[in-house]
Chains A and B, each alone.
Chain A
Amino acid sequence: MKQSFFRTFSYLFIRAIKQAIRPLIAILPSFFMPLFFFIVYSYAFTNISNLPGFGGSSYLAFYSPVALLMAVFFTSGDAGFELMLDITSGYFEKLLLAPIPRLAILLPRIVAMGLRALAQSIVMLILLFLFGAPLKGGIVGILLIFGLVIIFGMGWSGIGLTLAALTKNPRVLQTSFIFTFPLTFITTAQLPKELLTGWYKVAVTINPLTYILEGVRGIMTQGVDWHQVAVSYLVAFLILVVTSASSIWAFKRMVR
């Protein structure tokens, strides 16, 4: 009696993509903010990179992976908002009314986020490259970056999806951003680990985002170091597993 999972999945996947790019202008802020930080920081902190620990690369090179990931970070937060939009508009109940597998309502959103992260990092990489960012890892490096942001984008979207399903409250979702956003700062985004001290260094070390960032940064500024790549993939994958599990749990709880 139920419709097939894959058919349903593909229909709702296409819808999730459409929802994401409508209106088209709404996707601009997720590019604007990272580029803004990128340009301001690159010029303001040009001389910092003379300090030891930067390994001789420019601050622009050092910061460009941050801009790339920040873009993905912002976008993946949208998944929760889009689910929330469906819940508040009543469309979500329309979907529940259809004879479709319940998880085929949630999972396309996560996978769509992978595709969006990919599209976004392609654009960001081109822009950053035009500004003079390095790409030491070459073609293999670029593909590795793409793989990493896809996993990371899907993984990070699970946080918003979990909160949306759990609270069904747009305000809570909005507020949660205040807690997740600082995570992007408590990393090696601004300074290399060698220059950090005390509790801050500890916090940066346990922040999983640090490892994603270092993975992309390594590929862009140093070339492919397989050990570092493996670590970053592992962390991204763990994030994906944990947040997917939590969003599925919260979702099932909601539609029960």
Chain B
Amino acid sequence: MKNIIEVKNLVKTFKGGVRAVDDVSFSVQQGQFFGFLGPNGAGKTTTMRVLATLSQPTSGKVKVNGYDVVKEPDAVRKSIGFAMQSVGLDDLATAWENLILIGNLYGLTVLQAKDRARELLEMFHLEKAADRYVQHYSGGMRRRLDVATALMHNPKILFLDEPTEGLDPSGRRVIWKYLQDLNKGGTTIFLTTHYMEEADYLTRDLAIINHGKIVVRDTPKELKRKIGCSFINLELSDKDRKKAFDLICEKFKKLNCRLVPGGLEIEIAEEDNLLPAIISALDKVKVEIVNFNLHSPSLEDVFLKYAGERFEGEEAGKGIDPYVRMRQRPRH
């Protein structure tokens, strides 16, 4: 498969010296569903804006669909659709007018634009509101319409910057479903999101960016596998917690066990299968297990491992693996 996006040594420095993208290189294959993850301020939006010709690179080379973003911006623009982080719609026009105008600007005839608009309105469940002014739309409707406008000209590559931010679960499903179909039809998708389950569900290739640098790049499956362990969470009463902790530390010396609010968390290597042994050992000393669960690493664990240190930066030097500290935060 050929690379449809190629980024080489991209640097973007803003006035005032902020180096938002710091020597980034990567490529995306044609037909991929690519996830671009990272904490707030990591440089995701800045990178996408350069790829979409909205912002000039400070240095480096960027090719999209084979065209150079600096030298052939219009060819790049024709190849891509971009649903930006903040919605950009004409509020004093209807959804219908919004779509038709954008279609026309990309060279569709009025007839073609009408057909396409009808199709997209239906796909995004907006046909009933099609003739209402956009200013009266709810946030979710605006978001869906915004994604629809990015698709009017059937772009080869679709950039989506947090497209499901602020959507309710059903609105999110509508977009997921459509994106999957679109990708199956051959469109390359470049997605950023804050929702790890979304990235896990949709993408087949991932990069995590932090402080303007790409820290890891792989398939979601491989990234999760590389974590190399699963987690057992035991919920225990306060009086038993310390007792259980001491017991496990003593009996299972190799395991990484730690106290967390309300119980214990134990890391076990996937292949060890120590759960029954741990439970029976605790049972023997009459520790009452209120609840327990075993989970394999999720994309969230991956994310926290590679980009989680942002929250704990200062304390990382105190000899505690920042990843471990992160895991002690309550889950939601």
A93 touching B84, Cβ below 8 Å:
yes
Question: Looking at the complex, which one of A93, A96, A98, A256 makes contact with B102 (CB distance below 8 Å)?
Answer: A98
Query: Quick check: is A3 within 8 A (CB to CB) of the other chain?
Result: yes
A99 touching B86, Cβ below 8 Å:
no
B101: chain A residues within 8 A (beta carbon): 11, 15
A11 touching B93, Cβ below 8 Å:
no
Known A-B contacts A11-B101, A90-B87; A98 and B106 likewise in contact (beta carbons under 8 Å): yes
Query: Quick check: is B75 within 8 A (CB to CB) of the other chain?
Result: yes
B77 touching A98, Cβ below 8 Å:
yes
Closest to B76 in A: A99
Query: Quick check: is B316 within 8 A (CB to CB) of the other chain?
Result: no
B77 touching A22, Cβ below 8 Å:
no
Per-position 1/0 for A1-20, Cβ under 8 A of B: 11100011001100100110
A91 touching B88, Cβ below 8 Å:
yes
How many angstroms between the C-alpha atoms of A95 and B53 in the bound complex?
12
Closest to A98 in B: B105
How many angstroms between the C-alpha atoms of A23 and B101 in the bound complex?
19
B89 touching A91, Cβ below 8 Å:
yes
Query: Quick check: is B36 within 8 A (CB to CB) of the other chain?
Result: no
Query: Quick check: is A175 within 8 A (CB to CB) of the other chain?
Result: no
Question: Looking at the complex, which one of A11, A86, A90, A256 makes contact with B105 (CB distance below 8 Å)?
Answer: A11
B102 touching A94, Cβ below 8 Å:
yes
Question: Looking at the complex, which one of A11, A86, A90, A97 makes contact with B77 (CB distance below 8 Å)?
Answer: A97
A89 touching B78, Cβ below 8 Å:
no
A99 touching B106, Cβ below 8 Å:
yes
How many angstroms between the C-alpha atoms of A97 and B278 in the bound complex?
58
How many angstroms between the C-alpha atoms of A43 and B327 in the bound complex?
80
Closest to B97 in A: A18
| A interface residues, tally (CB under 8 Å) | 26
B84: chain A residues within 8 A (beta carbon): 90, 93
Within 8 A of A (CB), among B101-151: 101-102, 104-107, 133, 149
Overall SS of chain A's interface: helix
Question: Looking at the complex, which one of B56, B82, B90 makes contact with A97 (CB distance below 8 Å)?
Answer: B82
Known A-B contacts A1-B72, A97-B54; A15 and B90 likewise in contact (beta carbons under 8 Å): yes
Query: Quick check: is B52 within 8 A (CB to CB) of the other chain?
Result: yes
B105 touching A92, Cβ below 8 Å:
no
A39: chain B residues within 8 A (beta carbon): none
Known A-B contacts A90-B84, A90-B86; A11 and B78 likewise in contact (beta carbons under 8 Å): no
B97: chain A residues within 8 A (beta carbon): 18
Closest to A20 in B: B92
Query: Quick check: is B315 within 8 A (CB to CB) of the other chain?
Result: no
13 new A-B contacts at CB < 8 Å, known A1-B74, A22-B92: A11-B105, A15-B90, A18-B93, A89-B88, A89-B91, A93-B88, A96-B54, A97-B52, A97-B54, A98-B102, A99-B105, A99-B107, A256-B56
26 pairs of residues in contact across A and B, judged by CB atoms under 8 Å: A1-B72, A1-B78, A8-B105, A18-B93, A19-B92, A22-B92, A86-B90, A89-B88, A89-B90, A89-B91, A90-B86, A90-B87, A91-B90, A93-B54, A94-B149, A95-B105, A96-B54, A97-B54, A98-B77, A98-B102, A98-B105, A98-B106, A99-B75, A99-B106, A99-B107, A100-B105
